Chain A
């Protein structure tokens, strides 16, 4: 019987059909998905902080309204994804607890500080650009609720990337000081953006299984290369350079060659040693704990309303 179920699961996945919440699935598949989707959801939620840092200091009402909408989208993305984990039997409260106790991770990119307003533009262009590269293939991931959440997210990320690029184009048309600010920001974010695709393929032990299950559709290195190829002409159009002396077109490969990210730095940030790790998690914990009375009051209000309604009926 178990073999039958497993066979049916394998066939469904190989036929490019979707696995849905109440279908039988291997324990490993369920665990991998919960871990990956939760990590993704946490990234969206923590990702509100670096940009939220600039909402009150946006240089115009237009930029403030755009930034508010973008940060609100990140909250929405986190919620779509938490909703997907719950279809696998995860508990929302439990996931939040794991995040604020540091037992589940989020994307390391959000442990870097946003020092200038140009960072808002560069995050939109490069960080959201890298996220889109990662996420577009996930629209075809084998688990239905995850794929559907990714479709919604990708539609919205497109606005994020374009607003960032437009912001940078505006700054590049400004003063020399503003152009320098953009270049400085690109210099700081380029390598961390390349690290967003994860460790090199030969150091990514889970990739093979995830690809067999059709959870993951491309390897880390394939996506990283694709992102570099896409970004170089965009940088040229903008008038900035990437801080990589090895970056050059390879006629033979039909792709750009590029240098190796500092993987020691990557692992150091993953393990909690980044500039903002402690601050990001502490802020999330404080928001959760400070909001406890609101959650309690809402439950009390709902209970009271239910009683009043019953009495009136």
Chain B
């Protein structure tokens, strides 16, 4: 029988009001053990108030080789940024 445990990616919310952030990975036989191991490995000094564990195989990522074409649609749309619009300086609160 294979004894190798699957890989889980670990995300920790540092404190209330912040997003969960990826901190690393670990091996565990199931989700519950992954959570407990994540607590011991990644939050020994109050680094978190909440943990997510996700099977590494469940993550779909964009490919770095396609980086330029993949993100190109946002590259030429400068009008999405507030600085695109010239407003006279004497107009307040804008």
Contacts and interface: CB of A to CB of B under 8 A. Distances in A.
Interface string A265-292: 0000000000000000000000000001
A196 B79 CA distance: 56
Interface stretch (A75-83, A106-114, A134-142, A220-228): A75-83
A76 B27 contact: no
B23 to A, nearest CB: 8
A149 B26 CA distance: 13
A24 B27 contact: no
B30 A305 contact: yes
Contact of A76 (B7, B30, B41): B41
B91 to A, nearest CB: 39
B24 A149 contact: yes
A145 B61 CA distance: 16
Nearest to A305: B30
A93 B62 CA distance: 28
Contacts of A305: 30
B27 A296 contact: no
A76 B2 CA distance: 25
A295 B3 contact: yes
B49 interface: no
Contacts of B2: 299
Contacts of B44: 69, 72-73, 76, 156
Contacts of B64: 20, 22-24
Contacts of A69: 44
Interface in B27-49: 27, 29-30, 33, 40-41, 44-45
A22 B63 contact: yes
B5 interface: yes
Nearest to B2: A299
B33 A299 contact: no
Contacts of A149: 24
A302 B30 contact: yes
Nearest to B61: A22
Given A24-B64, A298-B33, A301-B29, A292 B3 contact: yes
A92 interface: yes
Contacts of B45: 156
B65 interface: yes
A23 B4 CA distance: 27
A237 to B, nearest CB: 27
Contacts of A72: 40, 44
A10 interface: no
Contacts of A84: 24
Given A72-B44, A79-B41, A80-B41, A299 B25 contact: no
A22 B30 CA distance: 26
A302 B55 CA distance: 14
A86 interface: yes
Nearest to B27: A92
A298 B30 CA distance: 8
A298 B5 contact: yes
A295 B1 CA distance: 11
A87 B59 CA distance: 14
Contacts of B5: 295, 298-299
- For B3, B45, B63, B65, which residue has the most chain A Cβ atoms within 10 angstroms? B3
Given A24-B65, A92-B4, A298-B33, 7 more contacts: A20-B64, A93-B4, A148-B24, A296-B3, A301-B29, A301-B30, A302-B29
